[in-house]
């Protein structure tokens, strides 16, 4: 992110936080379609890179969207994932699992483009399935939000998952 790290107004920061809390609630309520259609821009890049464990002296570049990534999605890819869930034929989601997103450390900055915001946030995602199957995933997000007439839209989301070996069997939900 290249932005002047000057604080935005309390009102704007509040609006962004409310946007994230609504997003988290839609995920918890399994309303992924509503999330996609009301909160995600059609030019979105939704990205969760694979980050190797490397020595501090290792000068190889950090991953780019050209590299393989756990998520490297455009709008159509996200739509395909949601269509799959909507078939009602995803057996591991019947009975449905539970998911809870806790969003914190929201930092809002003006971007170089006047209608865009750069936003950092952290997440703690708790998943609970069947009887005792539970996982906790913690990390951060770097977003570019677009300000539109009717609110914000996610234009870019980079997810930084703070674990090399994902201590879970999959990550097919949204962050």
List the x/- string, 122-161, binding to another protein by CB under 8 A. Answer: -------x--------------------------------
Q: Does residue 61 touch another protein according to CB under 8 A?
A: no
Q: Does residue 98 touch another protein according to CB under 8 A?
A: no
Q: Does residue 167 touch another protein according to CB under 8 A?
A: yes
Assess contact for 41 and 147: CB atoms under 8 A: no
Q: Does residue 172 touch another protein according to CB under 8 A?
A: yes
Assess contact for 48 and 171: CB atoms under 8 A: yes
Segments of 83-132 assigned E as strands: 98-110, 116-129
**Exposed (0-12), middle (13-18) or buried (19+): which is 157, by Cβ within 10 Å?**
buried
Q: Does residue 50 touch another protein according to CB under 8 A?
A: yes
With tokens 């988290």, the residue in question is 24
What is the distance between the alpha carbons of residues 5 and 111, in angstroms, rounded to a whole number? Answer: 9
Structure tokens at 140: 């951060």
Q: Does residue 81 touch another protein according to CB under 8 A?
A: yes
CB-wise, 79 or 110, nearer to another protein? 79
> Which of 14, 34, 43, 54 is the binder for another protein (CB under 8 A)?
54
Binding site for another protein (CB under 8 A): 48, 50, 52-55, 58, 60, 66-72, 77, 80-81, 83-85, 87-92, 129, 164-172
């Amino acid at each position: 992110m290249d932005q002047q790290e000057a604080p935005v107004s309390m009102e704007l920061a509040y609006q962004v936080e409310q946007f994230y809390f609504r997003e988290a609630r839609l995920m918890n309520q399994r309303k992924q379609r509503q999330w996609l259609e009301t909160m995600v821009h059609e030019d979105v890049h939704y990205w969760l890179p694979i980050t190797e464990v490397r020595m501090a002296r290792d000068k190889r570049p950090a991953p780019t969207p050209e590299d393989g990534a756990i998520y490297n999605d455009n709008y159509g890819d996200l739509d395909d994932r949601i269509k799959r869930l909507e078939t009602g034929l995803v057996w591991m989601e019947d009975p449905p699992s539970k998911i809870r997103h806790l969003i914190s450390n929201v930092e809002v900055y003006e971007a170089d483009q006047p209608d865009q915001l750069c936003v950092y946030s952290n997440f703690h995602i708790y998943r609970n399935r069947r009887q005792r199957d539970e996982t906790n995933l913690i990390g951060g997000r770097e977003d570019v939000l677009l300000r539109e007439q009717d609110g914000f839209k996610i234009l870019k989301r980079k997810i930084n998952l703070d674990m090399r070996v994902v201590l879970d069997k999959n990550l097919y939900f949204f962050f």
